[in-house]
Structure 1
Amino acid sequence: MTQVLSPTPQDEVRWQAVLNRDASQDGQFYYGVRSTGIYCHPSCPSRRPRRENVRFFDDPQGAQVAGFRPCLRCRPGEVGARRRAVMHVQHLLDTVEPTPSLAQLAEAVGLSPFHLQRVFKAETGLSPKQYALARRGERVRRELREGASVTAALYAAGHASSRTLYDRSTDQLGMTPGRYRAGGAGETITFAVTGSVLGPMLVAATGRGLVAVRLGEAGVLEQELRAEYPRATLVQDAAALGGYIEALHGHLAGVRRDLPLASDAPGTDFQRRVWAALRSIPYGETRSYAQVAEMIGEPRAVRAVARACAANPLALVVPCHRVVRAGGDPGGYRWGTERKRRLLDHEQVTAAD
Structure 2
Amino acid sequence: MAVVIIILKSEVTEDQIQHVIERVEALGMKAHLSRGTYRTIIGVIGDEQKIGAEPLRAIPGVMDVIPVLPPYKLASREAHPQASIVDVGGIKIGGGNLAMIAGPCAVEEPERMMDIAAAVKKAGANIYRGGAYKPRTSPYAFQGSGEEGLKILREAGDAHGMPVVTEVMDPRCVEIVDQYADMIQIGARNMQNFVLLTEVGRTRKPVLLKRGMSATIEDLLMSAEYILSQGNSQVVLCERGVKGFDKVTRNLYDVAAVAVVKGLSHLPIIVDPSHATGRPDLIPPCALAGVAVGADGVHIEVHDCPERAKSDGPQALLPRQYAELVTQIRKLAELFGKTISTIGPEKAA
TM-score when scaled to structure 1? 0.23
Which structure: greater strand fraction? Answer: 2
Which structure: greater helix fraction? Answer: 1
